Chains A and B, each alone.
Chain A
Amino acid sequence: MTDDPASITDIEDAADADDDLPTLLTRMLRQVNGVHTVYATKPIVPTLVTAVVEFVKNEPVGVHLVSVRDGDEGVEIEACIGVTGDEPAPDVCRRAHAALTDFFVQNGQPEPAAISVNIGRVG
Chain B
Amino acid sequence: MSDSTSAPRHEPGVSPLEPQNLQGHTIEELSDYLDRGREPRDASIETSPGAQHALAALSRLRTIAPRILEAEAKAKPPENESWIRRILDQIGVQASAGRDIPIRADVPTATLSISEGAVRALVREVGDDLEGMFVERCRLQGDVEIAGSPVTVTVEISVFRGTDPATVIEELRSGVVDALALHTELNVADVTVTVRHPDVPETEENE
A contacts, CB < 8 Å to B: 37, 39-40, 43-45, 48, 80, 82, 85, 88-90, 93-94, 97, 101, 111-123
Contacts and interface: CB of A to CB of B under 8 A. Distances in A.
Contacts of A117: 110-113
A122 B94 contact: no
B104 interface: yes
B69 interface: no
Contact of A39 (B90, B103, B113, B125): B90
Q: Is the interface of B mostly helix, strand, loop or mixed?
A: mixed
9 contacts: A40-B90, A40-B94, A45-B91, A82-B93, A93-B113, A94-B105, A116-B113, A120-B93, A122-B114
Interface stretch (B4-12, B130-138, B159-167, B181-189): B181-189
In terms of DSSP, what is the predominant structure of the interface of chain A?
Answer: mixed
Contact of B182 (A37, A48, A88): A88
A85 to B, nearest CB: 7
Interface stretch (B48-56, B72-80, B116-124): B116-124
B104 A90 contact: yes
A43 to B, nearest CB: 6
Contacts of B89: 37, 39
B110 A119 contact: no
Given A44-B90, A90-B103, A116-B110, 8 more contacts: A43-B94, A82-B93, A90-B183, A94-B105, A97-B112, A118-B115, A119-B113, A121-B93
B193 interface: no
Interface in B54-105: 87, 89-91, 93-94, 97, 100, 103-105
Given A44-B90, A82-B93, A94 B112 contact: yes
A-B CB proximity, top 8 nearest: A119-B114, A89-B183, A120-B93, A116-B111, A90-B103, A44-B90, A118-B113, A93-B112
B106 interface: yes
Contacts of B117: 120-121
B109 interface: yes
